[in-house]
Chains A and B, each alone.
Chain A
Amino acid sequence: MLPYLKPIGNLRRMTRRRTNPDFLNGVPELVVLKLLSGRAMYGYELVQAVREQSGGGLAFGEGCIYPLLHKLEARGELTSRRVQFGGRSRVVYRATEKGRGQLAEAVARWQDVAAAVTRILQGGRHENRSIA
């Protein structure tokens, strides 16, 4: 079964999972909104951009990007249109104002979670206030 979004490289390939690993919940939406806030892209271009800009650390299942794009479009976070270029046409997506707002919230949440996890991993101080 194809992974939806998988970390590759040093991490174990979870190629048999039906969905993202739990710790990646919400990451595909965050990544897609971030990239499409910068410029409009079509599906193939977006998959390439995720791979390149993550330094090869993340990759979408090629065909699996489309249900995510359609879901975000149904929510009003993306808009799409078919454009012609180079003798062929492609459906191009870009983030809407609502999408940019959702992106800002998601980024803030991600940064909070990442900072909290980092503190724990680096051996954060534990105070047991319940013991007198």
Chain B
Amino acid sequence: MKTEVSLEGLVGDLVRRGLPVEYAERAVAELEDHRQDLLAEAERDGLPGEAAESLAAERLGNTKTLSRKIVRDYRRRSFAGRHPWWTFVAAPLPTMVLAWAALILTIWGAAEAAKLVIGDWGGPIDLCKPNPPWVHPAVCALLFLIVNFGPTATACIYAWLASRGGHGLRWLTAACLPLALVAAILFFKVESLPGGHGRVMFGLMLAEPVKMLRLFTSPLQLTQLLLPLVAATCIYSWHQWRFRPRLRFA
């Protein structure tokens, strides 16, 4: 039936606008129940089949208007929904800084706790001294994780926030793109210098725009650029797939 088709299409429309699938299905199921009641009322009033259907559909309301209203009211339940610019544009970079701070505090706390339990284990690795061959790559891997934790963890948080709050890919992209760009221009380097010295360098590769474009030919920088975007996409897609539409009208 025409109205059932349009209500079924409403589920897809709500999901495309970013609403969680289980909520979209619930809302549409209740609208279908309501439509059935309106239909029964029209038939009790003596209206023939098609006229009753038509009246029920008209009273229930235009599906586009209902869709807008449902999406708007759902999003406004949360702070992010009421203030999307603050949440998805202004907050991601500070959130990323907080994520790094949390990671560093966790690592420091774990190291202090380990000292209490194990005792003094000899301090940090001395890169100036001869070390086993695995030390250098292990240190690089650890630094890679630390450097990329901030942008990637933040992107994952925003992917979850966008999928649960019905904010859609547009806001998620607005949040994740700056994170990815910052991740791409972060660098770290571990060097052993002649004379027994070593150094670890962190920083942002800021240069003229043309030179900065060349950074993206580096595999490491490309990986750092893509990591937050891929992580956010995976979480968002998984959430949408997990709660994919199952509702079918008899």
Q: Please report A residues at the B interface, Cβ cutoff 8 Å.
A: 1-2, 4, 42-44, 61-64, 66-68, 70-71, 74, 88-91
Contact status A62-B73, CB under 8 Å: no
How far, in Å, is A75 (CB) from chain B's closest CB? 8
| Cross-chain contact A63 with B77 (CB below 8 angstroms) | no
* Best-buried of A4, A63, A71, A91 by chain B (most CB within 10 Å): A63
The residue of chain B having its C-beta at the shortest distance from the C-beta of A44 within the complex is: B37
A43-B34, A66-B27, A71-B73 known; 9 other A-B pairs, CB under 8 Å? A43-B33, A44-B38, A62-B60, A62-B61, A63-B34, A66-B34, A70-B26, A89-B33, A91-B29
Chain A residues with CB below 8 A from B61, complex form? 2, 61-64
Report if A91-B70 is in contact (Cβ < 8 Å); known contacts: A1-B65, A2-B65. Answer: no
Could you tell me if B33 and A90 are in contact, using CB atoms closer than 8 angstroms?
Answer: yes
- Provide 30 A-B residue pairs closer than 8 Å at the C-beta atoms, listed in order of the A residue: A1-B65, A2-B61, A2-B62, A2-B65, A2-B66, A43-B30, A43-B33, A43-B34, A44-B34, A44-B38, A61-B61, A62-B34, A62-B38, A62-B61, A63-B60, A63-B61, A63-B66, A63-B69, A64-B69, A67-B69, A67-B72, A67-B74, A70-B26, A70-B27, A71-B73, A88-B33, A88-B36, A89-B33, A91-B29, A91-B30
A62: B residues at CB distance < 8 A: 34, 38, 59-61
Asked whether A66 and B65 contact (CB < 8 A) given A71-B77, A88-B36, the answer is no
Which of B23, B30, B38, B69 makes the CB contact (< 8 A) with A4? B69
Q: Is the CB of A42 within 8 A of B33?
A: yes
B93 at interface, CB cutoff 8 A? no
Chain B: residues with Cβ within 8 Å of the partner, total of 23
Those of B1-43 within 8 Å (CB) of chain A? 23, 26-27, 29-31, 33-34, 36-38
Contacts of A4 in B (CB 8 A): 69
**Which residues of chain A are near B29, meaning CB under 8 Å?**
91
| Residues in B whose Cβ lies below 8 Å from that of A44 | 33-34, 37-38
For A63, list chain B residues within 8 Å (CB): 31, 34, 60-61, 66, 69
A91 to B27, CA, bound (A): 11
Chain A residues near B74 (CB, 8 Å)?
67, 70
Residue of A nearest to B73 (CB): A67
Q: With A and B bound together, what is the CA distance between A52 and B113 in angstroms?
A: 68
How far is A4 from B73 in the complex, measured between Cα atoms in Å? 11
Smallest Cβ distance from A113 to chain B, in angstroms? 23
Residues of A within 8 A of B33 (CB): 42-44, 88-91
Cα(A52)–Cα(B61), bound, Å: 20
A1-B69 Cα distance, complex, nearest whole Å? 10
Q: Which residues of B contact A90 (CB under 8 A)?
A: 33
Top 5 A-B residue pairs of the complex, sorted by shortest distance between their CB atoms: A67-B73, A44-B37, A63-B61, A63-B66, A2-B61
